């Protein structure tokens, strides 16, 4: 499929439809809890927003890799843009900041992709990195469902479930693409994951790369759990 080719039909509703006329529900939160949720919604927005930065980086700096993967990157980007839009709606309403100002704050940040240059040169390694990121995010969203439900807002509850379903679909799309293109290299996945995991937790802060944004004190899944539980599950999906 070319970059302008027809995308597969979306499996979940658009944020604009699901969050139409959204107003964050009235809720009694402590100042600490309100600040924490504000950070959660903002971080969710910017990491999803940065998918487009990664896409443009690959297209401009690694055109050969981009060409190999564009048919799986296009539907992924469409959904991530939708996620960013949805979280921007939620964040703007929760924080009483205008939607335009929220988008501007996301756009003005400067990304640094040097940390993933070595990953982006190999299509298989990039697919593994993307799959890793999507399944970790799936776990984060899954664990968020209970707390989102506590707001007693059907739109918020539907939203977090939609985001989780999309991330699962992305994970399997990247895995299947790797199996399709590189069946003879799947034995390399374990070593690649070790490198990706190491890079993820070596860097001191998130640099706008979309992937590898898990090394933060308040990240809801520990480094040890990712290593002991999530990495083996990823390997199993690639080799089964």
Residue ranges of alpha helices (H) inside the chain are 15-18, 31-49, 51-61, 63-95, 99-107, 117-120, 123-149, 154-181, 189-202, 223-225, 231-239
Mean pLDDT of 178-193: 97
Instruction: Report the mean per-residue pLDDT for the chain.
Output: 94
Domain ranges of the chain: 31-239
Structure tokens at 233: 């599950």
pTM of the model: 0.94
- Please report the pLDDT score of residue 183 as a whole number: 97
Say yes or no to pLDDT of 7 above 50: yes
Say yes or no to pLDDT of 6 above 50: yes
Say yes or no to pLDDT of 1 above 50: no
Structure tokens at 200: 């993820």
- pLDDT class of 203 with cuts at 50, 70, 90: confident
Alpha-carbon span 68 to 57, nearest angstrom: 15
Say yes or no to pLDDT of 54 above 90: yes
- CA separation, residue 21 to residues 45, 93, 106, 164, 221 (Å): 18, 10, 22, 22, 32
């Amino acid at each position: 499929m070319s970059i302008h080719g027809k995308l597969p039909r979306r499996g979940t509703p658009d944020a604009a439809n699901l969050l139409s006329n959204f107003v964050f529900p009235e809720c009694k939160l402590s100042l600490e809890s309100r600040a924490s949720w504000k950070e959660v919604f903002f971080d969710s927005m910017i990491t999803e927003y940065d998918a487009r930065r990664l896409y443009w980086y690959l297209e401009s700096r690694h055109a050969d890799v981009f060409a190999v993967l564009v048919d799986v990157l296009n539907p992924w980007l469409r959904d991530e843009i939708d996620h960013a839009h949805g979280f921007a709606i939620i964040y703007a309403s929760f924080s009483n900041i205008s939607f335009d100002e929220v988008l501007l704050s996301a756009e003005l940040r400067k990304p640094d992709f040097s940390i993933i240059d070595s990953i982006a040169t190999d299509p298989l390694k990039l697919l593994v990195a993307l799959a890793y990121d999507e399944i970790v995010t799936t776990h984060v969203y899954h664990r968020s469902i209970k707390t989102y439900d506590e707001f007693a807002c059907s739109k918020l509850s539907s939203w977090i479930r939609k985001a989780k379903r999309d991330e699962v679909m992305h994970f399997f799309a990247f895995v299947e693409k790797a199996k399709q293109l590189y069946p003879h290299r799947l034995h390399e996945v374990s070593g690649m994951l070790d490198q990706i995991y190491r890079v993820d937790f070596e860097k001191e802060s998130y640099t706008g790369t979309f992937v590898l944004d898990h090394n933060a004190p308040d990240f809801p899944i520990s480094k040890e759990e990712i290593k002991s539980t999530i990495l083996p599950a990823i390997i199993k999906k690639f080799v089964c």
